A and B are shown apart, each in its own frame.
Chain A
Amino acid sequence: DAGVTQSPTHLIKTRGQQVTLRCSPKSGHDTVSWYQQALGQGPQFIFQYYEEEERQRGNFPDRFSGHQFPNYSSELNVNALLLGDSALYLCASSIGQLNTEAFFGQGTRLTVV
């Protein structure tokens, strides 16, 4: 059983560019959450998708947007990249709207230069 898979694993972008990160949830999971983890810090919640809609959003600007597809996979898009967007981006999947265990992927390391 494949767990949560994220692509790419590493990415280098130039300030001002746009980036798309991808996540496939664990089999049987229908809810996807995205987190940003800056170096040496704990993950920060960006947003969560369920039934192809954004259900909750953290304190992140509109430059951060997302999408969930009918097969439950998800994308995170970041526009107008800033140096401060450099971080590990983690995807987590879970089941439904209940407080069930979230499974995390290995993350995408984004470096903005």
Chain B
Amino acid sequence: GNSVTQMEGPVTLSEEAFLTINCTYTATGYPSLFWYVQYPGEGLQLLLKATKADDKGSNKGFEATYRKETTSFHLEKGSVQVSDSAVYFCALSDNAGNMLTFGGGTRLMVKP
């Protein structure tokens, strides 16, 4: 079955540091890939997505590239802010788009 593995946290960075959160996946066919963010006490918000190999999703300074050869979708940001502190989830959807399979989440803490 499908699965998503992402680096365990917490990841603690200083403001303006470079961020990488690793995500790898196992899936049949050609899934779509997503990054969701969850702020304290809230539901999930879609951060970015990519629907086919070599696509780059980007939003709010975050980027991730769909790498089929390495089955990866690593999240990056050049300069993090305190407001980026949250839990980040990597996810994939099956070909029919019926269900999302999530990784375990990575907590990011950014200190001023």
A interface, CB within 8 angstroms of B: 4, 33, 35, 40-45, 48, 55-56, 58, 90, 92, 94, 97-107
Give min CB distance, A3 to chain B, whole Å: 9
Task: Check A104–B105 contact: CB distance below 8 A.
Answer: no
The answer to whether the Cβ of B22 comes within 8 Å of any Cβ in the partner chain is no
B interface, CB within 8 angstroms of A: 4, 32, 36, 41-46, 49, 51, 89, 91, 93, 95-105
List 14 interface pairs A-B (beta carbons < 8 Å), by A numbering. A33-B99, A35-B100, A40-B104, A40-B105, A41-B104, A45-B100, A48-B98, A48-B99, A92-B100, A99-B32, A100-B97, A101-B46, A101-B49, A105-B43
Give min CB distance, B45 to chain A, whole Å: 7
- 7 new A-B contacts, CB < 8 A, other than A33-B99, A41-B105, A43-B44, are A4-B43, A42-B103, A42-B105, A48-B98, A92-B100, A94-B97, A101-B49
Cα of A92 to Cα of B89 in the assembled complex, Å: 15
Q: A56-B99, A97-B97, A101-B49 are in contact. Are A42 and B43 (CB under 8 A)?
A: no
Does more than half of chain A's interface fall in helix, strand or loop, or is it mixed? loop
Give min CB distance, A21 to chain B, whole Å: 13
Task: Check B44–A104 contact: CB distance below 8 A.
Answer: yes
Q: A48-B98, A106-B43 are in contact. Are A99 and B105 (CB under 8 A)?
A: no
Task: Check A102–B100 contact: CB distance below 8 A.
Answer: yes
Task: Check A99–B43 contact: CB distance below 8 A.
Answer: no
Cα of A37 to Cα of B78 in the assembled complex, Å: 30
Task: Check A90–B100 contact: CB distance below 8 A.
Answer: no
Residue ID in chain B nearest A56 by CB atoms: B98
Residue ID in chain B nearest A45 by CB atoms: B99
Cα of A56 to Cα of B41 in the assembled complex, Å: 28
Q: A97-B96, A98-B97, A99-B32 are in contact. Are A42 and B102 (CB under 8 A)?
A: yes
Cα of A103 to Cα of B73 in the assembled complex, Å: 21
Cα of A58 to Cα of B94 in the assembled complex, Å: 13
Partner of A99 from the list B41, B46, B89, B93 (CB cut-off 8 Å) is B93
